[in-house]
Each structure stands twice: as C-alpha cells, then as structure tokens.
Amino acid sequence: MTFNEERKCRHCGSSEFDEATDYILLRKSKVSFVGSEKVYTFCISCGEVQSIRLTNPNVFKK
C-alpha cells in the first residue's frame, strides 16, 4: 500500500493518520555511533500505530 492510498485504522476505522519520530536512534549495537531514526505512522483518532519504518535502513546492511 502506498502512502496516498485510502487506509483505515484496524482499531477504530478512522482514515486520518499522521507521522512522528521519537528521535532515538535504533543502533546495531550498544557501542555503535550510527543508527537510524524510527518513523511511526499512527491513527490520530485512537493512537493505534499502523507502521514503524527506519529513515536509514542501510546502516544495518553488511
């Protein structure tokens, strides 16, 4: 499903979503200095999180 396609919340049926990040990097290890922010897509009516994605998944590729 693309971002522009109509989608419904699994919890309440609303079609209003927004995105936010918590600015805490997901890191490969405790000593790693590089990481990626997590972006949450959530229903603005009930708060149900529809998806979580990384802004830079390439830092985890070997």
- The 10s digit of each residue's pLDDT in 20-57 is 998 888 887 766 778 899 999 999 999 999 999 999 99
What the block records as the tokens of 54 is 């990384």
Whether residue 4 is predicted with pLDDT greater than 60 in this model: the reply is: no
Q: Where are the domains of the chain?
A: 17-60
Cα(47)–Cα(11) distance, integer angstroms: 9
Whether residue 1 is predicted with pLDDT greater than 50 in this model: the reply is: no
Full-prediction pTM beyond 0.85?
no
CA atoms within 13 A of residue 13's CA, in its CB half-sphere: 0
Cα(9)–Cα(23) distance, integer angstroms: 24
What the block records as the tokens of 2 is 């693309």
Cα(54)–Cα(18) distance, integer angstroms: 16
Per-residue pLDDT, 31: 66
